[in-house]
Amino acid sequence: MKSLRAPVVANAEVAPGIWSLWFEHPGLARACRPGHFLNLKPGPGPDPLLRRPLSVCDVERDRLRLVFRAPGRGTALLAQLRPGDELDILGPLGRPVRLPKRRTVLLCGGGVGAAPLLLLARRLRDENRVKVFLGARAAEGLILTREFSRLRLEVGFATDDGSHGHRGPVTDLVVKNVHPGTGQLVYACGPLAMLADLARRVKGAEAWGFFEERMGCGTGICYCCALPRKGGGYTRFCQEGPVVRLDEVEL
């Protein structure tokens, strides 16, 4: 796969330690679907060597949006990019979500995990009933709240410290709203512990997780990203995912 070059249009910190970066690439904007991710070269030189995977958060005409936490060197370099700087991108990667029709869909985002759910919500809302649940440790960590509200969806909030919405894990809100056996779908993105909690608590419902854990090659070779599959074998979320059915893997 050839790498693509694209100019940064805007980059700003939207919550403590969380960045929103817009860039322009008409071809990618046409090709990207909910669930796709991009592998970005963090800097101009050979160090850091490995690309960093980020999900596509949103698409608007020729522009794409990434929303990311910057826990280490690679993403810190991406956070420093300014309008006019160039991104070096591999993508779109991963298998996009197969979009349902006429279903009730519950979206559950923990922290920066809300990012890929925005594009999914945008593409689902015309033909489905969509409810969104966003969680964070405290109110200032809730992201994309205005963007989800503008889509005119039901949006619920949860914070660990009770500073906004329900006090407790965001998975509590999903559990209250899920009715196994009624054809509802659940899509969740967030820390692995959140996905594991959800998998335990929504047994019987069709629930999918966006897996955003450590990745190596990103091309299916190294098994760095592999999760043990129930019944044997492994699911490489760079290949078979990143959106994987929660009841298919050991969490």
Ligand X SMILES: Cc1cc2nc3c(=O)[nH]c(=O)nc-3n(C[C@H](O)[C@H](O)[C@H](O)COP(=O)(O)OP(=O)(O)OC[C@H]3O[C@@H](n4cnc5c(N)ncnc54)[C@H](O)[C@@H]3O)c2cc1C
133 binds, among ligand X, ligand FES, none (CB under 5 to 8 A by kind): none
Please give the torsion angle defined by the CA atoms of residues 94, 187, 42 and 68, in that order, rounded to the nearest 10 degrees.
Answer: 160
Of residues 139 and 217, the one with the C-beta less far from ligand FES: 217
Tell how far CA 224 is from the center of its chain.
19
Query: What is the smallest separation between the CB atom of 198 and ligand FES, expressed in angstroms?
Result: 22
CA atoms of 183 and 204, how far apart (whole Å): 10
Tell me if 90 sits within 8 A of 4, measured CB to CB: yes
Q: How many residues bind ligand X (CB under 6 A)?
A: 22
212 binds, among ligand X, ligand FES, none (CB under 5 to 8 A by kind): ligand X
Among 22, 37, 148, 157, binds ligand X (CB under 6 A): 37
Reply yes or no: is the peptide bond before residue 169 cis, omega within 30 of 0.
Answer: no
Of residues 68 and 157, the one with the C-beta less far from ligand X: 68
Q: List alpha helices for the chain, DSSP H.
A: 26-31, 73-79, 115-124, 145-150, 171-177, 192-201
Tell me if 107 sits within 8 A of 122, measured CB to CB: no
- Under rule CB under 6 A, which residues in 67-106 are in contact with ligand X? 67-75
Q: Which residue is nearest to ligand FES (CB)?
A: 238
Query: What is the smallest separation between the CB atom of 243 and ligand X, expressed in angstroms?
Result: 9
Of residues 196 and 217, the one with the C-beta less far from ligand FES: 217
CA atoms of 143 and 53, how far apart (whole Å): 19
Return the percent helix, strand and coil in the chain, to nearest 5.
20, 35, 40
Q: How many residues does the chain have?
A: 251
Query: What is the smallest separation between the CB atom of 116 and ligand X, expressed in angstroms?
Result: 6
Position 143 contacts ligand X (CB under 6 A) = no
Question: What are the residues binding ligand FES (CB under 6 A)?
Answer: 215-218, 220-225, 236, 238
Among 55, 159, 171, 184, binds ligand X (CB under 6 A): 55
Sites of contact with ligand X (CB under 6 A)? 37, 52-55, 67-75, 112, 115-116, 212-215, 242
